[in-house]
Amino acid sequence: MRVVILGGVWKGRVVASPREPGLRPTSQKVRAALFNILGPRVQAARVLDLYAGSGALGCEALSRGATAATFVDRAPECAVAIRRSLAALAPPPAVRVEVITADAVAAVRRLAKQGRVFELVFADPPYDGPWGKNILRALGAHGIIPPAGWLVLECHRGMPPPATVEAPLIPRRVARYGDTVLVFYQGMTEDR
C-alpha cells in the first residue's frame, strides 16, 4: 500500500510500507481528518507513535511541526521501514527521532522509567484481542501523557474502546470514518 504524507514540509513524500502480515496503515482519509482535528496541537509536540507500522502517523506529525517522534512497533520489519523512511525524509538535527522495536506496553513502561513525556500519543493497535484496553491501561498508569496532552486511539467500530478509562485520561471526542473509529483522550488538567 502506498502511504503518502498529506501535509507540512514533507507533503507528497512517500513513507516506506513494510510487508508485514496484518499491517493496516491508517487510510489517507482518516489521517487527513485526524490531523485536521488536531490542528495546531501538533506544533512543537513530542510524539509517541505506538503500534507504528509504517510510521505514517509519526512522520505526518513531524512534517507538520512536531519536534520529536518516538516510533514503537514489535515487528523488526516495521522498524526497518520506519528507519528507511526517516533516512529518506532527513529530519533536521534539532528534531529528535527514535525507533524502538518492542511491545507497546513494555515500551511505555520503559519510557516512563526514563521520565519521558509526550504531548501527543497515537495508538493504532491490532483490532483483534485486548490490545486497545491494555495500552489504555498502561498509558493511564504510567503518566507519560502530561496534563493537556492528547492520546488518539484508533479502533474498529465493532470493537469500541472501554467506556471507562484510567485517570489521568479523559475521553473528549469520538470520530467515525467507515469502519474506523478515532477516540481522542486528553490528559487531565487541574481544572478538569
**pLDDT for res 192:** 43
Please state, in angstroms and rounded to a whole number, the distance separating the CA atoms of residues 70 and 121.
10
Structure confidence by residue, pLDDT tens digits, 20-37: 777 778 889 999 999 999
Tell me the mean pLDDT in the region 27-51. Answer: 96
Structure confidence by residue, pLDDT tens digits, 122-166: 999 987 777 778 888 899 888 899 988 999 999 888 876 665 566
**pLDDT for res 137:** 86
CB 148 within 8 A of CB 189: yes
Please state, in angstroms and rounded to a whole number, the distance separating the CA atoms of residues 133 and 181.
15
**Pairwise pLDDT comparison (43 vs 134), residue with the higher score:** 43
**pLDDT for res 163:** 57
Q: What domains are there in the chain, each with its CATH number?
A: 3-187 (3.40.50.150)
**pLDDT for res 15:** 94
**Pairwise pLDDT comparison (171 vs 74), residue with the higher score:** 74
**pLDDT for res 112:** 96
**pLDDT for res 1:** 67
Structure confidence by residue, pLDDT tens digits, 85-119: 999 999 999 999 999 999 999 999 999 999 999 99
**pLDDT for res 128:** 75
